[in-house]
Homo-oligomer: A and B are copies of this chain.
């Protein structure tokens, strides 16, 4: 089949705040083909900046936009997805935003080819990599922000426990901003609210920059509350600081990687930074295939791959296909408190099943449907003019 249309859609809530809540807006990408099959993907990125990568005028042979690279191309197999990804990235060699932007299209291409071949994406990945095609359930951890105080955090945690969550990650907000005692009180409150049997994870939201000594002290101080990991204590590119931190063997394992916008950044964190959990957002690193490559690196290095997902269940579907077939990679970031936009985006969100787990859908492609009627009110139509040319005019949703 031929690719006939590649359309980005900028959706957003009416009021956007500075809170570290990635579900306030989104960029969806819809790919249509001449067979009538339609696939969708979602980017975790600035919607406008990424949208510009779909329509920017050519600057030279290394700055060619994504639409130009894809429209009219043949798509009949997973190999075609790989080939088209190489073309897009080569044509966009000098566009820094290329991976953030292309992620949505890459995910949509997998959705299309899965539907065409009537197989779930994880099965296609298993075929091309000659690995197991048996999917395993994941333990979802609710991904929430710390409350402003330890008391608020306790109530958030207790509420999650009541909802049945056996794991939860608390992040950002006050963590790291008001001294050690406050940081410890926040973690203690999360543990007490979730109870002694739950898994808790702590996300420091890059707050200590390159200060690995403070990160180490916090890891040691948090250890008595038994968090599964301490996430992003340092800046995403502070590889030497990560190395110094992990060399000290902190009592709490270190997690990082959500900021990986190219495969090498994840590889660098793993190989040179010594992290023990690598967290990859398929909506940032260029889609499903580079995420799958990081998963395999994690398998070879004996560390755990985890998804980073702070968007809708469309992103969650993409994330799940990447590592569904590895039973040891058993944790799933599960957005539990997203915006109305993100919660209404897919027709049937992934349920937490009676055994407390989440499973990839045994349906062709990503296995999800977009709730067009529900999200239409959130569309922010974009129009871009450059000189006398309209380089982008919004397609209807």
- A: which residues have CB within 8 A of B? 10, 12, 16-22, 24-25, 44-49, 51-53, 55-64, 93-100, 206, 236-237, 239, 259, 261-265, 267-268, 272, 284, 380-387, 391
A262 CB, min distance to chain B CBs, angstroms: 6
The answer to whether B60 touches A21 (Cβ under 8 A) is: yes
The answer to whether B385 touches A382 (Cβ under 8 A) is: yes
The answer to whether A25 touches B59 (Cβ under 8 A) is: yes
Instruction: Give 21 pairs: A residue, B residue, CB < 8 Å, sorted on A.
Output: A16-B57, A17-B60, A18-B58, A18-B60, A20-B61, A20-B62, A22-B60, A22-B94, A24-B59, A44-B94, A46-B53, A49-B49, A49-B56, A93-B206, A93-B236, A96-B284, A237-B264, A239-B264, A272-B272, A381-B385, A381-B387
The answer to whether A48 touches B56 (Cβ under 8 A) is: yes
Residues of B within 8 A of A272 (CB): 272
Compute how far the CA of A45 lies from the CA of B93 in the bound complex, rounded to whole angstroms.
Answer: 10
Compute how far the CA of A61 lies from the CA of B96 in the bound complex, rounded to whole angstroms.
Answer: 21
Q: Which residue of B lies closest to A56 (CB)?
A: B48
The answer to whether A96 touches B263 (Cβ under 8 A) is: no
The answer to whether B58 touches A48 (Cβ under 8 A) is: no
A8 CB, min distance to chain B CBs, angstroms: 12
Q: Which residue of B lies closest to A384 (CB)?
A: B384
The answer to whether A386 touches B61 (Cβ under 8 A) is: no
Among the listed B20, B25, B95, B382, which residue makes an inter-chain contact with A384, where contact means beta carbons less than 8 Å apart? B382
Among the listed B100, B382, B385, which residue makes an inter-chain contact with A386, where contact means beta carbons less than 8 Å apart? B382
**With contacts A16-B60, A61-B20, A239-B264 known, is A94 near B381, CB below 8 A?**
no
Compute how far the CA of A268 lies from the CA of B52 in the bound complex, rounded to whole angstroms.
Answer: 29
The answer to whether A20 touches B60 (Cβ under 8 A) is: yes
The answer to whether B24 touches A60 (Cβ under 8 A) is: yes
**With contacts A381-B387, A383-B384, A384-B384 known, is A95 near B59, CB below 8 A?**
no
Among the listed B48, B93, B387, which residue makes an inter-chain contact with A52, where contact means beta carbons less than 8 Å apart? B48
**With contacts A20-B60, A57-B16, A237-B262 known, is A384 near B268, CB below 8 A?**
no
Among the listed B96, B267, B384, which residue makes an inter-chain contact with A96, where contact means beta carbons less than 8 Å apart? B96
Q: Which residue of B lies closest to A97 (CB)?
A: B97
A53 CB, min distance to chain B CBs, angstroms: 6
Compute how far the CA of A284 lies from the CA of B267 in the bound complex, rounded to whole angstroms.
Answer: 22
A297 CB, min distance to chain B CBs, angstroms: 11
| 13 new A-B contacts at CB < 8 Å, known A19-B61, A44-B94 | A20-B62, A45-B95, A46-B52, A46-B53, A47-B56, A47-B59, A48-B384, A48-B386, A49-B95, A94-B259, A96-B261, A237-B262, A383-B385
Residues of B within 8 A of A20 (CB): 60-62
**With contacts A61-B19, A272-B272, A385-B382 known, is A100 near B93, CB below 8 A?**
no
A387 CB, min distance to chain B CBs, angstroms: 4
A94 CB, min distance to chain B CBs, angstroms: 7
Q: Which residue of B lies closest to A239 (CB)?
A: B264
Compute how far the CA of A262 lies from the CA of B385 in the bound complex, rounded to whole angstroms.
Answer: 30
Residues of B within 8 A of A267 (CB): 239
A241 CB, min distance to chain B CBs, angstroms: 11
